[in-house]
Amino acid sequence: MLRSARGLRACRAACGGRARLLSTSLSAQLDSSAAAVHAAADGFQPEIAMILGSGLGVLADEVGPVAARIGYGDIPHMPQSTVEGHAGELVLGELAGRQVAVLSGRIHAYEGHSFERLVYPLRLMAQLGCRKLLVTNACGGIREDLAPGHIMLISDHINMLGSNPLLGPNDDSLGPRFPDMSSAYTPALREHARTKAAEANLEVKEGVYLAALGPSYETPAEIRMMRTLGADVVGMSTAPEVIAASHMGVEVLGMSLVTNHAAGVTDQPLSHDEVVEEAALARDRFASLIHAILPGL
């Protein structure tokens, strides 16, 4: 009995030490990455982080003046994006009068990254000082009124990725063990976006985003299930970053560009080429909305 108690105490001590080690490791990595970015950008201080989805990276080319353009491979500890339509670079500078940090190219779980690594770029943006996140994605429309070309403000999400980026020991310096997700997509930012869209005569929808693992597209049966669950669109990203943003107290505005009907909604087969092509067709309208929203965000 005594040996068991001692063993339990030893186990707790070891586990506690492991938690402190992992916590210190993540914080140290973020400090190292932030220092490299600050050095490359001559101390530029961003206020808004932007994550650009498939085919929407053209917005990074509208940043100007540019403080720095840094490939992910030049940032210590930064995971690499491997998907077509994702450039894999961080652009810092001014856009629509705001100081922004634009992640052109996101990391997906289906590329083989751990969920902790998926959200590393977002955590780095918060480490650099960003307290607001504008996250975008390309998605498939489940709801009948969401057709290719439509823009949807995300009111909530359903995480069906099968994991969570907060698994494992919690780093209390980054956020609480059990963050609240009731208003993960900040209502005030969504209202601001609706107002600016109306002023610019740009139609926006609103709805729930479902994150699926991929990389295969969903089956018609899965889409019927998702519709029953309350999903309006489906994609393969966004939820992990928003969970991490909530963990770190970062406000979020989420925007989805519908690039295709979900499986079974029409007889059309799905392809990534279609996603990139539809994003290219809608990019001017999407960019106009971003420019309208950013000044007062």
Q: Which residues are catalytic?
A: 54, 86, 108, 110-111, 138, 236-237, 260, 272
Those residues whose C-beta lies under 8 Å from the C-beta of residue 64, and which sit 6 or more positions away, are 93, 94, 95
Do residues 233 and 226 make contact, with C-beta atoms less than 8 angstroms apart? no
Q: CA end-to-end span of the chain, whole Å?
A: 61
Instruction: Tally Cβ neighbours within 10 Å of residue 242.
Output: 28
Do residues 189 and 251 make contact, with C-beta atoms less than 8 angstroms apart? yes
Instruction: Say if strands 132-141 and 205-212 run parallel, antiparallel, or are unpaired.
Output: unpaired
**Residue at 290: amino acid letter:** I
Those residues whose C-beta lies under 8 Å from the C-beta of residue 270, and which sit 6 or more positions away, are 140, 217, 260, 263
Instruction: Say if strands 251-261 and 66-71 run parallel, antiparallel, or are unpaired.
Output: unpaired
User: Tokens 């971003």 sit at which residue?
Assistant: 290
221: β partners: none
- Give the Å distances, CA to CA, from 110 to 81, 215, 238, 286: 11, 6, 13, 26
